[in-house]
Amino acid sequence: MTTSLFTPLRLPNGTTLPNRIAKAAMEENMAAAGQLPGSALYRLYGAWADGGSGLIITGNVMIDGRALTGPGGIVLEANTPLAPFEEWARVARRKGGHVWMQINHPGRQVNADMGGTAWAPSAVALDLGKYSKRFAQPQAMNEAQIQEIIERFTATSVAAERAGFTGVEIHAAHGYLISQFLSPLTNQRTDAWGGSLANRARLLLEVVRAVRERVSPTFCVSVKLNSADFQRGGFSEDDAKQVILWLNEMQVDLVELSGGSYESPAMQGRTADGRTLAREAYFLTFAKELAAAAKMPVMTTGGIRRRAVAEDVIANGVAVAGIATALALAPDLPARWQAGGDHTTVNQQVGWKDQVMAALARMALVKRRLRALGAGRLSPQSYSAAFTLVVDQLRTRRLTRRYRRWSQARA
């Protein structure tokens, strides 16, 4: 039988995704007071649930309230109240799809003005030219802090299951903490957590092992992994293949392949090492090759917005097509495709010379659209990129003040 986008997918743990389309994670920065999910997030995820995606992966949920990717981030720790998360899971699952919580620690990718903890494998600061000072100076982690991180990933996973989520996605891509351990550019340690790839991958493997031991067998455990860092001397495609071979020996239900970091935003279609990515399905070539080595299903995300491209992903042996920005513009895209339509979306372009500011504007446009969905406004609109970026910066400052008050009260 020919596999299509709407063929169910049985996962290694015996559970089944109703189709092969996943709403991939996007940075929402829409936390309510207390860094908790609230009504805006429920409306947003209700739109995706109704839209027909077989799998919904949340935006970043942070395992440590001292370290967030942005001031509007959701935090879930061992003692966090679960009621808001139970409602989030209930809404996202209301049409029968899976909902997995993406869990993460930013490592060194923490904004300096948030006053957070920038733990990292080594004290290697971000290099973003004149924008580098926007990020905190990282602190090399000691053994006790590494063990604490493993426990925090595990505690958040246990809490996610208790709240009603059907799985977690451990974020080991995009230059966040676990990705920093994997890359020889950011991991310059000489102990058992650095040096060889086996040592650099140790944190990821220990986190996966600890999480799997503490959750139920039918709770899905997945990993988001860079197919490459797209930086010279960084985590390579060969490294990714070897990590997948190690994950094959563990109880992993899916690996999502993406790429890049803040320094090389391949997830936005741009690389720092000069390599050219496809205009859509950026990482399909890498994913096809890596899927051949994987025992678990593989998913790829990056630039997919047309049905024909999503079908090509499946035809190339990749089990799941992950869609992000297109589902911000049209949350019901899977339902339209299943009904026989060929609806597509067009991303708003930002062609500024300053690539960092252009990337920030593109992200601000997506986040503005997510907030519109959270307010119940489903029809897409065209926004001014410059105005949207200014509004986003002002909003970020306000959320930063709120976060700092929350953080100080906890301390």
Mean confidence (pLDDT) of the chain = 90
pLDDT in tens, 287-302: 888 899 999 999 998 8
Q: CATH number of the domain that 114 lies in?
A: 3.20.20.70
* pLDDT at site 231: 66
The domain tally of the chain equals 1
pLDDT in tens, 133-186: 888 899 999 999 999 999 999 999 999 999 999 999 999 998 899 999 999 999
Average pLDDT over residues 205-232: 91
pLDDT of residue 348 exceeding 90: no
Pinpoint the alpha helices (H) of 249-305. 284-291
For the chain, percent of residues with pLDDT exceeding 90:
71
d(C-alpha 202, C-alpha 191), whole Å: 11
* pLDDT at site 29: 94
Q: SS3 of 124, please?
A: coil
Say if 248 falls within a structural domain: yes
pLDDT in tens, 306-327: 898 899 899 999 999 999 999 9
Say if 402 falls within a structural domain: no
DSSP class of residue 137? Answer: P
Say if 175 falls within a structural domain: yes
Q: Which residue is associated with the tokens 């869990």?
A: 103
pLDDT of residue 404 exceeding 90: yes
Say if 353 falls within a structural domain: no
d(C-alpha 163, C-alpha 44), whole Å: 18
Q: Which residue is associated with the tokens 């808001």?
A: 84
Say if 410 falls within a structural domain: no
Say if 392 falls within a structural domain: no
Q: How confident is the model at residue 229 (pLDDT cuts 50, 70, 90)?
A: low
CB 120 within 8 A of CB 185: no
In sequence order, the 6+-apart residues with CB closer than 8 A to the CB of 329 are 345, 346, 347, 369, 380
Please report, for the chain, how many H helices and E strands are present, in that order.
13, 14
* pLDDT at site 265: 56
Q: Which residue is associated with the tokens 């996962």?
A: 11
The whole domain housing 292 covers 9-348
Average pLDDT over residues 40-65: 97
Say if 299 falls within a structural domain: yes
d(C-alpha 172, C-alpha 347), whole Å: 26
pLDDT of residue 276 exceeding 50: no
Say if 357 falls within a structural domain: no
Q: How confident is the model at residue 67 (pLDDT cuts 50, 70, 90)?
A: very high
